Structure 1
Amino acid sequence: MKATINGRVVAEAPESELVSIEGNWYFPPSSIADGALDDSATPYTCPWKGVAQYHDVAGQSDAAWSYPQPPSSAVTRVGKDFGGYVAFDRRYVEVS
């Protein structure tokens, strides 16, 4: 699968390496293109996934997010450690 913004591939990995959570595809850290993300200062904490890190993507503010250290209960719920995996806001980034 690929994540693209304005024709630029920002992440690419086989679907078998992604994690699907609440309708969003989370890409493994190794699949993110170098220089594609810049950390954002936007704060957010999910009640069950923990503290999020938002990312700017190719100049688009907060177009991606990750959970650097999800709690063990979230990992158990998802069935895989998704720490550091990155999901993209489909309003700005196409995932296909």
Structure 2
Amino acid sequence: MRAVWSDHVIAEAPEEDLVRIEGNWYFPPSSIAEGVLESSDTPYTCAWKGAAQYFSIATPDGRFEDGAWSYPSPYPGSFERVGRDYSGFVAFSPGVEVG
């Protein structure tokens, strides 16, 4: 599967390597294109997953503020609900084509 924004592949991995949580595909950290994600200061904490880290997507064609997010250190109890450890996996906001 691929995540594409502004004609740039942001992430690519086999579907079996991804995790689906609440309708969003989460890509493993190793599948993210180098240099396209920049940390954001936007705060968010999910009641059952924990503190999120937001990222802006930066390509030569532009910038998508808070276009991606991750849970670097999810609550351990969420692993059972999700079915596996998804620490550091990255999901994308609407506007990024995932498929």
Q: What secondary structure is seen at the aligned counterpart in 1 of 2:80?
A: helix
Q: Percent identity?
A: 59
Q: Deviations over 1:6-35 (max 9, x none)?
A: 100000000000000000000000000000
SS in 1 for 2:78: helix
State which drifts further: 68-77 or 21-30.
68-77
**Could you tell me which residue of structure 1 aligns to residue 98 of structure 2?**
95
Unaligned runs of 5+ in 2: none
- Give 1:1-96 correspondences, 5 Å limit: 1-58=1-58, 59-90=63-94, 92-96=95-99
Alignment RMSD: 0.5
- TM-score (ref. length: structure 1): 0.97
CA distance in 2, matches of 1:69, 1:29: 13
Measure the CA separation in 2 of the matches of 1:9 and 1:80.
26
Name the CA distance, whole Å, in 2 between partners of 1:14 and 1:37.
Answer: 20
TM-score (norm: length of structure 2): 0.94
Structure 1 CA distance, aligned partners of 2:30 and 2:10? 11
Q: How much does 1:76 deviate?
A: 1.2
